[in-house]
Chain A
């Protein structure tokens, strides 16, 4: 019997772009910038072809993408499993809401909330930065639950009713392109950071070889704090944006969906590269919206999809696509 073996080889254009870095033809330029360009084009065109209802869904998706990128960045490049998505959204949302309710205009309250919120979240998580893996996850997961209980019990910040009557982002075109613009900037900035910048190498060292980084005289807690700040900044911006999308801020901003969905999106999309969480979010959030008619049954669909990916397709969609893009496969005789 003839035995066959599947062989994967890098495409010629991939090898040329990898090794020489001299860009010698349009084909190679397109190979390098093509995927990024395609992403920009898709995000530009998508809002034009869908109904206003789905535009709103896409705006919400954008918030989840910011959280997923932050989660993927912390988990894959810094080694912190952070379930603090709800914390980031909640803190950012409430800060912006509170500021807006005392008269700060939206155009100031959103960026200030993103920045100040990131500082607050980083300080809150600072004591547990030496923790690793599941312990950090637990602490970051508990904070939003704590905040929600605190608000409900003491009645501060409007208590269970929240704060209503805030400024609303009314122009739906502006809304959607704003969040898409922010997520594009975020993802390009982050992939540059982790792939090319020296700081990105330090982050990866913190994840893979903490001792060598410490032995190099680098304070890893400081770098972990910087990484958490970056993720928290994205999440807090998402929260502030969400607040002004509805003109209302309440306890639902601390909902655990914001913490859990990024994990699911990273599983589905693939964890190796930052585009994985992005793709995963763009599949999962609209899917969950489509299944709204089935009520709580959608949780079951959701679970089935997750189990499928965890068990049968661990590399995730994005990793699969990247492989197809960069390599070709053929069968060879052994």
Chain B
């Protein structure tokens, strides 16, 4: 097997009763790549990330991460192996300062291992992580109560929760959704920096314009099936994708 492949998903399927949420999806992901996962509402994007990260039991198929078959692993063990994920709905410790939210992930076995005994005071490390990610207009954000933070900062906090584990791959479940244009504009460089740091990203998104700007390749789901996989700029030339998104009419996606 190619060493450069970090994640290999094969024939993944999941049905909830009579509804097939994910049907026979396969893909490979190379180390350091950013892959977008798009599709209309209910096409199985979130279920796919739940299946990969072990939060839902798979009906069939396998997931190989870093050469290890993690198909039957419990969710915490997958995270421990370095495959982190964000959640669409974040529930931070509302009554605590933002940086305190990073203390539990820093408490995890993986964080202790990757720090190689240099972890020290977890609160200080948490503040470091938050400051490194940066809250551009407001340096006091790490000290504010998490319950008072706007959505854009909460999304970053959620991302920081993953970064605390020093993961190799992060599955970002709609980190752009619900954000204003300027907030997204400030998130894009952050994503690019994560890639430079050697982190592979899977981005489940609805915001196509920003996604296409940073993603190396895109996977399109519809009704749980993979209908296309390819480079960002080519994906809307595929007939099936046009069909799923626009009902088959000719379309043009701005590449700016």
Using a CB–CB cutoff of 8 Å, the interface residues on chain A facing chain B are 198-199, 201-202, 204-205, 208-209, 211-220
Contact = CB atoms under 8 A, between A and B. Distances in A.
Interface stretch (B5-13, B104-112, B190-198): B104-112
A280 to B, nearest CB: 23
B91 A208 contact: yes
7 contacts: A198-B103, A201-B96, A214-B55, A216-B161, A217-B105, A218-B108, A219-B77
Q: How large is the interface on B (under 10, 10 to 19, 20 to 34, 35 or more residues)?
A: 20 to 34
A201 B100 contact: yes
Contact of A212 (B80, B109, B161): B161
A205 B76 contact: no
Given A198-B122, A199-B107, A211-B55, A217 B87 contact: no
A220 B92 CA distance: 17
B75 A215 contact: yes
A198 B107 contact: yes
A209 B100 CA distance: 14
Interface string B121-159: 010000000000000000000000000000000000000
A217 B100 contact: no
Interface string B32-75: 00000000000000000000010100000000000000000011
Tell me the interface secondary structure of chain A in the complex: helix
Contacts of B92: 209
A211 B87 contact: yes
B120 to A, nearest CB: 12
Given A204-B93, A205-B93, A218 B104 contact: yes
Tell me the interface secondary structure of chain B in the complex: helix
Nearest to B96: A201
Interface of B: 53, 55, 74-77, 79-80, 84-85, 87, 90-93, 96, 100, 103-111, 122, 161-162, 164-165
B87 A212 contact: yes
Contacts of B107: 198-199, 201-202, 216, 218
The 6 closest A-B pairs by CB, nearest first: A217-B80, A217-B79, A216-B105, A217-B108, A209-B91, A217-B110
Nearest to B94: A208
Contact of A216 (B55, B91, B93, B164): B164
A209 B157 CA distance: 14
A215 B53 contact: yes
B94 to A, nearest CB: 9
Contacts of A205: 93, 104
A201 B93 contact: yes
Nearest to A209: B91
